[in-house]
Chain A
């Protein structure tokens, strides 16, 4: 390797971190995001695996200057989840047309959550849970979360406030489980 190539390699960590370290660092975050988004633990696991497969395939296209690895992975996870939701909606349409009963799943949003909070989270929509997990659990800032959701920062903040207020209202006794 010549001097120029060495200098190029030295600059690599800044521009392209190793995929393994990125996966290790953000696995929990991506899983939590997908769990909150889907409300289904096994589905979240499947989608997390699919997300990292996609990430591996597209790793060469990742540009750290355009956003953090966490944001990029969450975008891939969101895309995978949306694909799943679309497929699920089509499946539900077919099953409803055929008179098939919908299969209920028991979501688990995390160890140590109170039953009330668990139930309250279950009552939120996927969109409301999404902004909560991004801003509260994954600690994404306004700009990154807004970019991921495809909305403005103001809209992102508003959506978070409404989601938390609704969650608080649901936990505060108005909820009927």
Chain B
């Protein structure tokens, strides 16, 4: 097992290097610099700015400079947001984005697994069709439609149920107050709930048909025990390898959710950076997210190996 983990860790380093290299050079291919303004600056000032940010040096040297900083966890200064380094901006947005993302993930897992199992147990019956059409709806209707509609219903019109005011704030973070979190987390989790429910349903249906489940039933074990103790763990195995993509999906969703609800997370900085051609900021966020996803995939791999010994002994 330690050998397996070590091999995987070692494999992650070249992956990260390729991504850093690719994104660095691709970003530099972009036309227009971060300091292009409507007004022409005097050439000597332009030269000074370029020198201050090492933009006057050959590209390869800039690349190695960037790598050197990177191993010290320094992503360089932001070109646009004065007095802030990219690391500082990410550090500022991270707690907010992380809290949003992990809450959404927890919500997605609980509801996704629940719905998936229920649908599988009622395969090809009304409940199954109802859950699966809901899941298809969740996948087909994009976040950026659901978010405004929910805002309209819960925020602008307000909802009163049995005399209880269920209105929610339409935006802002308010230091992560529960009321401010509900809508963004729900919107972020919805598509993942749908995907997880479909995934769990498919694998659960297959597992329920398999020989060991039939054996368990034949032994006379109660239905509940067969489902929860025998079938469910086996059915959840494919979910482990979906964790990486699921978090990637959440990161993507966070771009829209953070924009719509005005949440000061990393996604907002990224979009602003892309619009303003803030190379270092965009590059920094892409690298940061890539590292995050590589780490998650690594954890998922290891978890999978722990749960399914066949993976460990292959190759």
Question: Is this pair of chains taken from one and the same complex?
Answer: no
* Chain B residues close to A by CB (< 8 Å): none
Q: Which of A's residues lie within 8 Å of B, judged by CB?
A: none
